[in-house]
Amino acid sequence: AMDGYRGFLGLLVSALLVGFLSVLFTLIWVLHYREGLGWDGTALEFNWHPVLVVTGFVFIQGIAIIVYRLPWTWKCSKLLMKSIHAGLHAVAAILAIISLVAVFDFHNAKNIPNMYSLHSWVGLTVVILYILQLLLGVSIFLLPWAPLSLRALVMPIHVYSGLLIFGTVIATVLMGVTEKLFFALNSSGYSTSPPEGIFTNTLGLLIVVFGALIFWIVTRPQWQRPKEPNS
């Protein structure tokens, strides 16, 4: 049991480190290689998009997925843990929505067309699905009305949808990074492997590793919160 606990801690610390590095790399990308941050209809406003997506939709969503696995929370009430799980997902949803406002606002100010790329199609779809998942999750599992039979029926779908959404977010981020590099480096050339290209490719790899760690942690049956009778 102690061995499993240390294995868990090692992976949790790794996930936190890689997740934190992903956010840091995104900030360095927009602050050092790009123009910085602002809310003025220019590229500075666009730059909030990657920062808010990686912070909220990748890092905070990833942590929200594994909160029930933290062994020191197993003595906390299930209701408290559900509130933290839902609360972190709600924060992630709000950051994802603001990240979309930043892009649409920037596009409209610069007369750039909206919603033509695969990144935008998959991205908007996954934000809508995330909000639906959050509303359904709160209605069925957090609020007290739903009968146990309905909860038991929906739980496998909730888990499946949640992991599908998380994986799709990561795939969408990779498309977004690639798309931005093709736009931003067309003259100086992504194909010549400039420092920004190497740096952002590394950011993409960090995000894949973060997703892999969260997926591993959440799929270990021995790290699940012990199920209390009648819940």
Closest CA to 59 of 91, 106, 99: 91
110 vs 151 by CB, closer to ligand ASC? 151
Instruction: Mark residue 133 as left, alpha or beta (left: phi above 0; alpha: psi -120 to 50; beta: remaining).
Output: alpha
Instruction: Please select the residue that binds ligand ASC; options are 2, 152, 192, 229, rule is CB under 6 A.
Output: 152
Coarse DSSP helix, strand, coil percentages of the chain, rounded to the nearest 5 percent? 80, 0, 20
- Show the site string, 49-78: x = touches ligand ASC by CB under 6 A, - = not: -----------------------------x
Does the protein bind ligand ASC through residue 155 (CB under 6 A)? Answer: yes
Residues binding ligand ASC: what is the number (CB under 6 A)? 7
Taking the complex as a whole, the smallest distance from the CB of residue 212 to ligand ASC amounts, in Å, to: 26
Reduce the secondary structure of 153-195 to three states and give it as a string.
HHHHHHHHHHHHHHHHHHHHHHHHHHHHHHHHCCCCCHHHCCH
Nearest-angstrom CA–CA distance, 184 and 170: 21
Does the protein bind ligand ASC through residue 148 (CB under 6 A)? Answer: yes
Closest CA to 132 of 157, 114, 151, 149: 157
86 vs 101 by CB, closer to ligand ASC? 86
Does the protein bind ligand ASC through residue 150 (CB under 6 A)? Answer: no
Taking the complex as a whole, the smallest distance from the CB of residue 57 to ligand ASC amounts, in Å, to: 24
Is residue 47 within 8 Å of residue 37, measured between CB atoms?
Answer: yes
34 vs 78 by CB, closer to ligand ASC? 78
Is residue 5 within 8 Å of residue 48, measured between CB atoms?
Answer: no
Taking the complex as a whole, the smallest distance from the CB of residue 81 to ligand ASC amounts, in Å, to: 9
Nearest-angstrom CA–CA distance, 28 and 7: 31
Nearest-angstrom CA–CA distance, 223 and 226: 9
Does the protein bind ligand ASC through residue 1 (CB under 6 A)? Answer: no
1 vs 148 by CB, closer to ligand ASC? 148
Taking the complex as a whole, the smallest distance from the CB of residue 170 to ligand ASC amounts, in Å, to: 26
Please identify, among the stretches 29-37, 43-51, 148-156, 161-169, the one whose residues bind ligand ASC according to the rule CB under 6 A.
148-156
Instruction: Please select the residue that binds ligand ASC; options are 74, 141, 190, 216, rule is CB under 6 A.
Output: 141
Residues contributing to the site for ligand ASC (CB under 6 A): 78, 141, 148, 151-152, 155, 231
